[in-house]
């Protein structure tokens, strides 16, 4: 008969994730003893455990550790001021990352009151009822191991479970990297008949585990769209697109951090739209892989936002000529933005055409008006300047 190792599960009892993500790459020795440095690489989270009234009741602090290597997933539980006794611990997994541990085949690992390790899975036993049952009772295998022990002022529990065992009908088959949800149930029982109520972490939505690749090679980042380096722009809201390359992950699996000017790095996604002001700006982006290897040479673009035109042109030259003399004018203007000033001008016309800063022309006798505007190299236009000149007949 199947051994039920968890309470009845209600469909939809867990939805969403609580934001806790545990990651760590390392190997543990399953002996119930947390050796010095053994669990240092693990991701960890603190929670509380209900303690038996025979040991004082109330709650005590506890820590959950999670890590993996190329072969196994490792889970450690450290409970302060509590003894192992007949305590039980169970980890339910959301193998398919669908926000629920209630689905046919979801994995489960469990240590019972006698210290026996049980490998289970979620199975629908009747309409509307799912139970955690043992793999071995349904043609599977008891993969994994557990040991526990008491230390000085704490108890410690260590689990291991293959990332991909031969029992694919019941156990998860995890690639690296991947992400899935989990929930821990722990019941403190120092002796028969003196058990505390079951403690759960998290109490609401699921937490997550990242199965890491183990690679120490950092990704590379590329900006694929946005203002060019050294360019000028009139846009206050430019958009950057970026991607990355990695020795293990696909670009869609990388995460990114962005920074504007001398600001702090912040999580971001492509495309990234900015809200800026006039002036020079630098946008930087870096990619990060599952092992938290960070691109050491972030991609960046520096450009200038310039919406201000040059100053009104200054026009220098003679205002009175004799017929036959050539009019020579010199134009100048200041620009505090992108620079690269050039000019458009006309004589006796409102239609301005490009002209040099030293303008020469022969005019008929009479009164004439020279109109001039300055433009910077991204097209910002200055106010109009006018210069009146009289050509006298011979």
The tokens describing 64, both together, are: 């959950």
Report CA 239 to chain centroid distance, whole Å: 18
Mean pLDDT, to the nearest integer, of 356-381?
94
Q: What's the fold here for domain 17-211? A: Immunoglobulin-like (2.60.40)
Integer CA distances (angstroms), 209 to 38, 54, 175, in order = 19, 34, 13
Question: pLDDT-derived band of residue 1, with 50, 70 and 90 as boundaries?
Answer: very low
Determine contact, residues 157/110, Cβ cutoff 8 Å. no
pLDDT at residue 15, as a whole number: 54
Instruction: For residues 161 and 108, give the distance between their C-alpha atoms in angstroms, rounded to a whole number.
Output: 10
**Considering only CA atoms, which of 86, 141, 125 is closest in space to residue 7?**
125
On the question of pLDDT at 7 being above 70, the answer is: no
Range in 127-131, 253-257, 382-386 with the lowest mean pLDDT: 127-131
For the cut 90, the answer to whether the pLDDT of residue 270 exceeds it is: yes
Give the side-chain half-sphere CA count within 13 A for 286: 15
The average confidence (pLDDT) of the chain is: 91
Tens of pLDDT, residues 66-123 = 999 989 999 999 999 999 999 999 999 999 898 888 888 899 999 999 999 999 999 9
Both tokens assigned to 303? 């450009």
309 and 333 in contact (C-beta within 8 Å)?
no
How much is the average pLDDT of 322-341? 91
pLDDT at 379 over 50: yes
Say what the pLDDT of residue 272 is.
97
Share of the chain above pLDDT 70, in %: 96
**Please, which residues bridge with residue 344 across strands?**
354, 373
What pLDDT, in 10s, does the model give residues 26-62?
A: 999 999 999 999 999 999 999 999 998 888 889 999 9
* The pLDDT of residue 336: 85
- The answer to whether 227 touches 301, Cβ cutoff 8 Å, is yes
Q: What is the pTM of this model?
A: 0.70
Residue 126 has a pLDDT of 86
Name the nearest CA neighbour of 180 among 14, 38, 46, 11: 14
Tell me what pLDDT residue 100 has. 86
Q: Three-class SS of residue 328? A: strand
Provide the pLDDT for residue 260: 97
Q: Which residues contact 237 (CB under 8 A, 6 or more apart)?
A: 273, 274, 275, 276
DSSP state of 2: P
pLDDT at 5 over 50: no
- Per CATH, is 314-392 categorized as 1.10.3080.10? no
pLDDT of residue 300: 97
Report the alpha-carbon distance of residue 217 to residue 121 in Å, rounded. 36
Write down the domain spans for the chain: 17-211, 220-305, 314-392
Please tell me the distance from the alpha carbon of residue 310 to that of residue 234, in angstroms, as a whole number.
Answer: 14
Domain 220-305, CATH number (from 3.40.50.1820, 1.10.1060.10, 2.60.40.10, 3.40.50.2020)? 2.60.40.10
Judged against a pLDDT cut of 90, whether residue 8 lies above it is answered with no
Q: Do domains 17-211 and 314-392 have the same CATH topology?
A: yes
Rounded average pLDDT over 335-343:
87
- The pLDDT score that the predictor gives to residue 9 is 34
**In the predicted structure, residue 13 carries a pLDDT above the cut 60:** no
User: Residues 209-257: pLDDT tens digits?
Assistant: 999 999 999 999 999 999 999 999 989 999 999 999 999 989 998 999 9
The first and second tokens of residue 322, run together, are: 């004799």
How many of the other CB atoms lie within 10 Å of CB of 360? 11
């Amino acid at each position: 008969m199947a051994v039920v190792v968890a309470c009845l599960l209600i469909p939809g009892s867990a939805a969403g994730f609580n934001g806790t993500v545990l990651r760590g790459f390392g190997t543990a020795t399953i002996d119930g003893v947390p050796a010095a440095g053994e669990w240092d690489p693990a991701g960890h989270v603190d929670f509380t455990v209900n303690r038996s009234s025979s040991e004082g009741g109330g709650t005590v602090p506890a820590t959950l550790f999670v890590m993996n290597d190329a072969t196994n997933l490792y889970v450690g539980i450290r409970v302060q001021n509590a003894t192992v006794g007949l305590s039980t611990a169970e980890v339910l997994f959301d193998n398919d990352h669908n926000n629920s541990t209630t689905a046919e085949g979801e994995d489960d690992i469990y240590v019972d009151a006698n210290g026996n390790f049980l490998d289970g899975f979620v199975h629908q036993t009747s309409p509307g009822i799912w139970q955690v049952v043992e793999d071995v009772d349904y043609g599977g295998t008891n993969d994994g191991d557990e040991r526990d022990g008491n230390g000085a002022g704490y108890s410690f529990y260590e689990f291991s479970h293959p990332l991909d065992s031969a029992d694919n009908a019941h156990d998860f088959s995890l690639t690296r990297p991947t992400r899935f949800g989990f929930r821990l149930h722990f019941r403190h029982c120092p002796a028969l008949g003196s058990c505390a109520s079951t403690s759960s972490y998290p109490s609401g939505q699921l937490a997550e585990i990242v199965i890491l690749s183990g690679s120490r090679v950092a990704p590379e980042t590329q900006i694929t769209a946005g203002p060019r380096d050294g360019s000028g722009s009139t846009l206050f809201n430019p958009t950057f697109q970026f991607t990355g390359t990695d020795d293990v992950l696909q670009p869609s699996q990388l995460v990114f951090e962005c920074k504007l000017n001398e600001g702090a790095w912040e999580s971001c996604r492509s495309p990234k739209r900015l809200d800026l002001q006039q002036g020079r700006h630098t946008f930087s982006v870096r990619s990060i892989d599952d092992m938290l290897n960070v691109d050491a040479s972030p991609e960046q673009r520096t450009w200038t936002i310039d919406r201000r035109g040059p100053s009104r042109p200054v026009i220098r030259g003679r205002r009175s000529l004799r017929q036959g003399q050539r009019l020579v004018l010199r134009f100048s203007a200041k620009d505090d933005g992108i620079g690269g000033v050039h000019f458009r001008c006309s004589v006796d016309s409102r239609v301005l055409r490009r002209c040099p800063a030293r303008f020469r022309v022969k005019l008929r006798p009479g009164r004439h008006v020279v109109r001039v505007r300055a433009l910077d190299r991204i097209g910002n236009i200055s106010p109009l300047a006018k210069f009146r000149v009289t050509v006298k007949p011979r």
